[in-house]
Amino acid sequence: MPMAGFIKVIAGEMFSGKSTELARLVERALIAGLPVQVLVPAFSHRGSLRDVDERLARLVGRWTIVPVPDGAAERLDELVDRDALVVAVDEAQFFDRHLVTHCRRWRAEGRQVLVAGLDMDYREQPFGAMGDLMCIANEVVKVHAVCTRCRQADAFISHRLSAESAQVVVGEHNYTALCGDCYRAEGAAGIGYTRSMP
């Protein structure tokens, strides 16, 4: 029986648990016996193991991680197996807009498409194709860390701790999760906020 395809997007700031939620959904699919491919942009996959690798490593079933060169979504046709019934994408904000077309087609083919990514960059702007992906999704879930400054409100943005101004600066140590009020307060104060963990 063919499956009904769908697109589910998990969006949020850094440290909000997006990869944990993605791994939870992948685990569900594996228990259901579905073959899974997890796509990650190659440049953010280099070096140390990322969250999603560690979380997936303990799962049993047919899954593979596919690093996509330079996040180039154009090449996804050749990289994704025909029999992958679940296509999961982590760090989707780093892919170009071709990802939107591919996700829509995978859904039409009856696949389950799971997409996790940052909704906004550190300047509060929609990140990459995430906005479009959220529009075409069947379901969107926003997850949130707790603000590391007031330690009360839900965080909503990844605040950059370094002075670099490029949109993409990889490295969790460069960011902290802040709520809206704290983000504006830190923006007014300029760079220099240092995270102090309890």
The closest of 61, 53, 4, 67 to 36, measured between CA atoms, is: 61
Whose Cβ is closer to Zn ion: residue 63's or residue 156's? 156
Instruction: Spell out the long-range contacts of 49-55 with Cβ–Cβ below 8 A and sequence spacing 24 or more.
Output: 50/19, 50/90, 51/19, 51/20, 52/19, 52/22, 52/23, 52/90, 55/19, 55/20, 55/23
Cβ atoms of 122 and 95 within 8 Å: the answer is: no
The CA distance from 131 to 152, in Å, is 27
Please give the positions annotated as active site: 91
Whose Cβ is closer to Zn ion: residue 32's or residue 150's? 150
The closest of 130, 126, 121 to 7, measured between CA atoms, is: 130
Whose Cβ is closer to Zn ion: residue 87's or residue 155's? 155
The distance of closest approach from Cβ of residue 157 to Zn ion in the complex, given in angstroms and rounded to an integer, is 10
Of residues 126 through 185, those in contact with Zn ion by CB under 5 A are 147, 149-150, 153, 179, 182
Taking residues 32 to 51 in sequence order and writing x for each that binds Zn ion by CB under 5 A, - otherwise, the string is --------------------
The distance of closest approach from Cβ of residue 117 to Zn ion in the complex, given in angstroms and rounded to an integer, is 23
The distance of closest approach from Cβ of residue 180 to Zn ion in the complex, given in angstroms and rounded to an integer, is 8
The distance of closest approach from Cβ of residue 144 to Zn ion in the complex, given in angstroms and rounded to an integer, is 11
Measured in Å, how far apart are the chain's first and last C-alpha atoms? Answer: 52
Whose Cβ is closer to Zn ion: residue 37's or residue 148's? 148
Binding footprint of Zn ion on the chain (CB under 5 A): 147, 149-150, 153, 179, 182
